[in-house]
C-alpha cells in the first residue's frame, strides 16, 4: 500500500485524475475517499501465497518439501533463503514448518491470489502530451536548497535511483531522458518480470515520485532534485488491487541490489498489515523475509530510503491497529513496539517524515523517537504524472523522494561513499527544526518529529560550510549517585582534517536534579571541553541540550567521549544518548 491517510480506503486515490490538480497519495478524511474497488477475480479458489524461509543458499530441501506438501514454488531468492510458494492446502504452512531446515513459514496475504498472477498483463503506455509551461523555482526545491546544490552538481548519470512503486511512465517528456529501461522491471505478484513495459504505471503514484527525484532540467514542466541522474522503475503494486505484498517487495529489493542501484525510494508499506508483529507466525515471516531482502540490497551498496507513513502515528508508542488486514476485512487489534511497519522501520532503511512549506510536521506524517532520520517537504508537492502531465500531491510518499534525490546528488560528487556514510551525511548536514507541538520530544538538533532535521541538498554536496557527518551513541549509561564519572564513547571515521569550530554536541541526560550533573567532552587526544558545570540552584530535571564547541584544533577522526559525573548525593540518573555533528 502506498502511503496516504489512515483510512483503509486510501488506496482509491491511486486512480486520481491526471490534470493539473490531480491528487496522489493525499492525506484526506475517510469520508472524502470513494469506496474501495471490488475484490479481483481469483486465480483459483483458496490459492494463497507463502514465504518459506531457510538459511541463505540452502533452499533445495525446502523446495522439494513444497511439492510434497501440496504446494508449488513460484519464485525463489536463494541468496537470502526465501522461497515464494503457492498452495490451496489449508495445512500447507503447518506442514512446512515441520520440515527440516525450514526456519519460518508465513502467508503473505489473507486473500486469494488474483487471476493476473499466472499471466500478468503489461500496463499500457499512456498517451503523451508535450508540456508547454516553463519550469519554476518551486517552494519544495528552495526549502531543501536543491536549487543552490545545482551550482555544484545536477547529478551524475552513473547514479541510478530505483523507484519501487506503482510503475513509472518512461515516455513522459520530463522523465524519458533519465529513464533506464535496461534496469527496469516488474516484481508485482512476487516474481521478476523483465518484459518491455512491465515497469509502466498502474496508477499515478510512482510517476509522481520519479519526477521529484529526477525530472530533467530542460526548461519545461518541473525539475527534480537530481535532474541528471538515472531512474529505473521496479513496479511492485499489483493490479487491480494496487497493493504491495511482501513477495513483491522482496523481489524488488533483491533486484535492486543485483542491478547496482545506488538508492531505492520506497513510498509504500508492505500489505496487508500496517504493522507486522513477530508474535504472529505469518507476520514474523513477512518481517524476516523483507528484512533480509532490504539488507541484501544494502550489502550490495544500495541506500534504501522510505516514507514514514501517513497515519499521524507515534511509531515509538504503538498500541492499536484498526486498519489491517487491508486485503480482506480489517479489525481492531492490539500492537506493541515490537510490531513494525515494513519497510520504513527496518534497520537498513532510512525513514523520512513530511513537513509543510512552513517547516512544520505535516498533519498526516508519522513520527517517533529514533524512527525518523530526516524530514522533507511532502505537502502539495508538484511533480510528473503519466501522459506528460503534472499535479500536486501530499504525503510522506512525496517527502521520501526529496531525500532519495539528495542522496543521489551526494553520490554524484562522492561516488565511493557507502550507504552508511551517505546516511550520516544526510543526517549531519540536515537543518535543525524545533519542536512544533506538545507531542514533539527531543532537542532542536534531534527530535521525534524531524529526526536530525530538514534535508539540506546544498550542504550535503559541499555547497555549504559543513564538512558532513553525525555520529551517535544511543546506549544508556547509569550515572552513580555522588560517585565517579562515567564515559560514553563515539568513534568518528570518514571526516577529513580537523573538527569544526562549531562542533555540535547533543546531550540527553535523564536526572531529577540536573544541577548535580557535570558534563565534559573529551577529544581523542584527551583534551577536555567543559559543556556543563554543576549548580546548587538548578533544581529542574533532565539535561536535553545542544552545545557548540570550538574543536578546530582537534583531529576529527578517533574516539571521542562524553564524561558525566553526579557530584552530589540523593538523586540518581542516567545518560540516555549523545551525538556529535561535524
Catalytic residues: 165, 205, 397
How many Å apart are CA 543 and CA 98, to the nearest integer? 52
What is the grid cell recorded at 520?
Answer: 565534559
Nearest to 445 by CA among 432, 456, 435, 455: 432
Q: Which helix (H) or strand (E) holds 48?
A: strand 48-54
C-alpha pair distances (Å), 411 with each of 152, 303, 391, 492: 12, 10, 29, 20
Q: Which helix (H) or strand (E) holds 562?
A: strand 558-566
Structure letter (DSSP) for residue 323: E
What is the grid cell recorded at 327?
Answer: 486485503
**How many Å separate Cα 309 from the centre of its chain?**
9
- φ/ψ of residue 148, rounded to 5: -80, -35
> Are 311 and 6 within 8 A, CB to CB?
yes
Q: What is the largest CA-CA distance in the chain?
A: 75
Pairing mode of beta strands 331-334, 303-307 = unpaired
Q: How many CB atoms lie within 10 A of CB 435?
A: 17
> Are 60 and 429 within 8 A, CB to CB?
no
Amino acid at each position: 500500500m502506498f502511503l496516504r491517510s489512515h483510512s483503509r480506503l486510501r488506496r482509491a486515490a491511486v486512480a486520481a485524475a491526471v490534470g493539473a490538480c490531480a491528487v496522489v497519495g493525499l492525506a484526506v478524511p475517510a469520508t472524502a475517499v470513494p469506496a474501495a474497488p471490488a475484490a479481483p477475480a481469483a486465480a483459483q479458489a483458496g490459492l494463497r501465497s507463502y514465504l518459506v524461509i531457510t538459511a541463505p543458499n540452502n533452499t533445495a530441501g525446502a523446495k522439494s518439501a513444497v511439492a510434497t506438501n501440496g504446494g508449488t514454488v513460484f519464485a525463489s531468492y536463494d541468496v537470502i533463503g526465501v522461497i515464494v510458494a503457492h498452495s490451496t492446502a489449508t495445512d500447507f504452512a503447518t506442514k512446512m514448518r515441520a520440515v527440516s531446515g525450514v526456519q519460518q513459514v508465513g502467508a503473505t496475504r489473507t486473500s486469494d491470489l488474483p487471476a493476473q498472477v499466472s499471466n500478468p498483463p503489461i500496463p499500457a503506455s499512456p498517451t503523451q502530451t508535450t508540456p508547454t509551461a516553463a519550469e519554476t523555482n518551486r517552494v519544495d526545491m528552495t526549502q531543501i536548497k536543491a536549487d543552490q546544490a545545482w551550482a555544484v552538481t545536477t547529478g551524475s548519470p552513473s547514479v541510478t535511483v530505483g523507484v519501487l512503486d506503482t510503475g513509472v511512465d518512461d515516455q513522459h517528456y520530463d522523465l524519458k531522458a533519465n529513464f533506464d529501461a535496461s534496469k527496469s522491471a516488474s516484481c508485482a505478484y512476487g516474481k521478476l518480470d523483465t518484459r518491455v513495459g512491465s515497469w509502466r504505471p498502474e496508477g499515478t503514484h510512482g510517476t509522481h515520485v520519479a519526477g521529484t527525484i529526477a525530472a530533467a532540467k530542460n526548461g519545461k514542466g518541473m525539475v527534480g532534485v537530481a535532474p541528471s541522474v538515472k531512474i529505473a522503475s521496479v513496479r511492485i503494486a499489483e493490479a487491480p488491487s494496487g497493493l504491495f505484498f511482501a513477495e513483491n517487495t522482496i523481489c524488488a529489493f533483491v533486484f535492486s541490489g543485483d542491478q547496482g542501484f545506488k538508492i531505492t525510494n520506497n513510498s509504500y508499506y508492505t500489505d496487508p498489515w500496517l504493522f507486522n508483529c513477530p508474535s504472529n507466525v505469518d507476520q514474523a515471516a513477512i518481517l524476516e523475509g523483507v528484512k533480509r531482502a532490504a539488507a541484501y540490497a544494502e550489502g550490495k551498496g544500495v541506500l534504501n530510503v522510505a516514507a514514514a507513513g501517513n497515519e499521524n502515528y507515534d511509531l515509538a508508542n504503538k498500541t492499536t491497529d484498526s486498519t489491517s488486514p487491508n486485503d480482506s476485512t480489517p479489525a481492531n487489534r492490539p500492537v506493541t513496539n515490537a510490531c513494525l511497519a515494513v519497510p520504513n522501520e527496518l534497520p537498513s532503511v532510512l525513514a523520512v517524515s513530511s513537513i509543510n512549506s512552513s517547516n512544520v510536521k505535516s498533519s498526516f506524517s508519522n513520527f517517533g523517537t529514533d524512527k525518523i532520520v530526516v524530514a522533507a517537504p511532502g505537502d502539495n508537492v508538484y511533480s510528473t504524472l503519466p501522459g506528460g502531465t503534472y499535479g500536486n500531491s501530499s504525503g510522506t510518499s512525496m517527502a521520501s523522494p526529496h531525500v532519495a534525490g539528495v542522496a543521489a546528488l551526494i553520490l554524484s560528487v562522492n561516488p565511493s561513499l557507502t550507504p552508511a556514510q551517505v546516511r550520516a551525511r544526510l543526517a549531519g548536514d540536515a537543518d535543525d527544526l524545533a519542536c512544533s507541538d506538545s507531542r514533539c520530544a527531543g532537542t532542536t538538533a534531534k527530535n521525534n518529529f524531524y529526526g536530525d532535521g530538514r534535508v539540506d541538498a546544498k550542504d550535503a554536496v559541499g555547497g555549504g560550510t559543513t564538512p558532513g557527518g553525525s555520529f551517535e551513541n544511543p546506549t544508556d549509561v547509569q550515572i552513580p549517585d555522588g560517585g565517579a564519572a562515567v564515559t560514553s564513547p563515539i568513534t568518528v571515521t570518514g571526516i577529513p582534517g580537523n573538527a569544526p569550530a562549531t562542533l555540535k554536541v547533543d546531550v540527553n541526560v535523564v536526572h531529577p536534579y540536573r544541577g548535580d550533573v557535570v558534563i565534559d567532552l573529551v577529544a581523542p587526544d584527551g583534551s577536555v571541553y567543559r559543556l556543563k558545570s554543576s549548580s546548587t540552584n538548578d533544581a529542574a530535571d533532565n539535561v536535553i541540550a545542544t552545545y557548540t564547541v570550538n574543536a578546530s584544533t582537534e583531529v576529527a577522526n578517533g574516539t571521542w567521549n562524553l564524561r558525566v559525573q553526579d557530584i552530589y548525593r540523593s538523586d540518581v540518573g542516567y545518560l540516555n544518548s549523545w551525538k556529535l555533528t561535524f
